[in-house]
């Protein structure tokens, strides 16, 4: 935005103040995220440094190493053979947390994306009854404070149990806790995270569908396509970018969620955010910063994917520019 030539001197001063102001706000947004990265390579346990942490010659991978070794009795300087790595894979606290996070996130995403996409198809039909009310309900997990959701779930999931030796226990038992309840089980965390991810799927997929030309469906049908062919050959390719964006949102929501996990999960469902939450509560060890750095890298990758998808979706819908 160039300054018009009729601008007065005062306006010029204001214009440059405004640019500097914006730069400072951008710095406020991004600096905290960037500052974590160099600090995670700092070898000292207490990072009481001034600006020295910016000196790359002192960098070490010490805290990244801690992530592998924490939680299993690795001898200092032990040979890193296959046995050592399999011990890391089986016993390291952070590796276990990562495995749990990925597992829960994956299933929560699949659940939220499948149910959410099908529902979005119904919601974006003009003849959908009670559209506004149902939409409000489906978006509400994003609006209702997470602590309220977590409290409700911790009460209810502790009571949501199957009787031992019943048919339900035979089918679902392996996903539930030892007592056969949703609380303290992987399934409990998965459904909780799926609910939290659903608003994002609904919002992104209905947004993609808002530009969707409904006559394409009729065209396909008139050419003799059955509903399945219409869905997979006509609708899906066009809304896929929105679906993937929604899925990524749902995954990030689960991958970053800690409150529901704190309230409904047991010791077997230790996730990365929970581990971080506990770590931050005690005292910030630079190992937390190493995790944070890894998470920042992941979010950069996810952001890039979503941006690419969004542009592709805009192009498919014929939206030029933004």
DSSP per residue, 27-46: HHHHHHHHHHHHHHT---SS
Nearer to other proteins (CB atom), residue 25 or residue 170? 25
Site for other proteins in 59-118 (CB under 8 A): 111, 115-116, 118
Shortest Cβ 53–other proteins spacing (Å)? 8
Question: Looking at 108, 138, 189, 220, which residue binds other proteins (CB under 8 A)?
Answer: 138
The answer to whether the CB of 273 falls within 8 A of the CB of 101 is: yes
Binding-site size for other proteins (CB under 8 A) equals: 100
Distance between CA atoms of residues 308 and 287, nearest Å: 32
Site for other proteins in 179-238 (CB under 8 A): 191-192, 194-195, 198, 200, 203-204, 206-207
Nearer to other proteins (CB atom), residue 103 or residue 277? 277
Q: Within 173-258, where are the H helices?
A: 186-210, 215-222, 227-229, 236-255
If binding is defined by CB under 8 A, does position 3 make contact with other proteins? no
The answer to whether the CB of 202 falls within 8 A of the CB of 138 is: yes
Sketch the per residue contact string, 233 through 272, with other proteins: x for CB under 8 A, - otherwise.
----------------x--x--xx-xx---x---------
Nearer to other proteins (CB atom), residue 61 or residue 148? 148
Q: How many angstroms from the chain centroid is the CA of residue 113?
A: 13
Site for other proteins in 139-158 (CB under 8 A): 139-141, 143-149, 151-157
Question: Looking at 87, 134, 217, 240, which residue binds other proteins (CB under 8 A)?
Answer: 134
The answer to whether the CB of 245 falls within 8 A of the CB of 306 is: yes
Site for other proteins in 25-64 (CB under 8 A): 25-26, 28-33, 35-36, 39, 46-51, 53
What does R_g of the chain's alpha carbons equal in angstroms?
25
Structure tokens at 147: 């602590």
Distance between CA atoms of residues 269 and 267, nearest Å: 5
Shortest Cβ 213–other proteins spacing (Å)? 18
If binding is defined by CB under 8 A, does position 273 make contact with other proteins? yes
Cβ burial of 248 (10 Å; 0-12, 13-18, 19+) is buried
Distance between CA atoms of residues 69 and 51, nearest Å: 29
Shortest Cβ 268–other proteins spacing (Å)? 20
Nearer to other proteins (CB atom), residue 62 or residue 91? 62
Distance between CA atoms of residues 222 and 228, nearest Å: 14
Structure tokens at 39: 């600090």
Question: Looking at 102, 106, 110, 123, which residue binds other proteins (CB under 8 A)?
Answer: 123
Nearer to other proteins (CB atom), residue 74 or residue 106? 106
């Amino acid at each position: 935005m160039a300054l018009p030539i009729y601008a007065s001197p005062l306006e010029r001063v204001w214009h440059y103040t405004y640019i500097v102001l914006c730069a400072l706000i951008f710095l406020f947004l991004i600096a905290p995220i960037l500052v974590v990265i160099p600090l995670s390579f700092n070898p000292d346990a207490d990072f009481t440094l001034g600006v020295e942490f910016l000196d790359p010659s002192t960098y070490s991978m010490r805290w990244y190493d801690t992530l592998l070794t924490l939680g299993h009795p690795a001898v200092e300087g032990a040979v890193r053979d296959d046995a050592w790595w399999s011990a890391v894979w089986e016993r390291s606290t952070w590796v276990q947390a990562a495995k749990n996070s990925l597992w829960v996130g994956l299933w929560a995403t699949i659940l939220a994306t499948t149910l959410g996409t099908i529902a979005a198809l119904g919601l974006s039909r003009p003849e959908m009854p009670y559209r506004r009310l149902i939409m409000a309900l489906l978006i509400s997990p994003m609006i209702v404070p997470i602590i309220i959701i977590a409290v409700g779930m911790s009460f209810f999931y502790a009571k949501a149990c199957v009787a031992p030796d019943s048919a339900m226990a035979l089918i679902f038992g392996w996903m539930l806790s030892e007592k056969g309840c949703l609380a303290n089980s992987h399934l409990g965390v998965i459904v909780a995270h799926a609910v939290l991810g659903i608003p994002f799927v609904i919002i992104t997929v209905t947004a993609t569908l808002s530009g969707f030309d409904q006559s394409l469906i009729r065209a396909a049908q008139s050419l003799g396509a059955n509903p399945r062919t219409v869905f997979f050959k006509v609708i899906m390719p066009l809304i896929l970018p929105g679906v993937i964006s929604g899925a990524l949102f749902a995954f990030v929501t689960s991958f970053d969620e800690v409150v529901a996990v704190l309230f409904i999960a047991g010791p077997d469902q230790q996730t990365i955010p929970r581990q971080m939450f506990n770590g931050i509560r005690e005292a910030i060890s630079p190992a937390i910063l190493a995790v944070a750095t890894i998470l920042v890298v992941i979010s950069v990758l996810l952001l890039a994917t979503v941006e690419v998808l969004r542009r592709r979706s805009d192009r498919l819908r014929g939206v030029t520019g933004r």
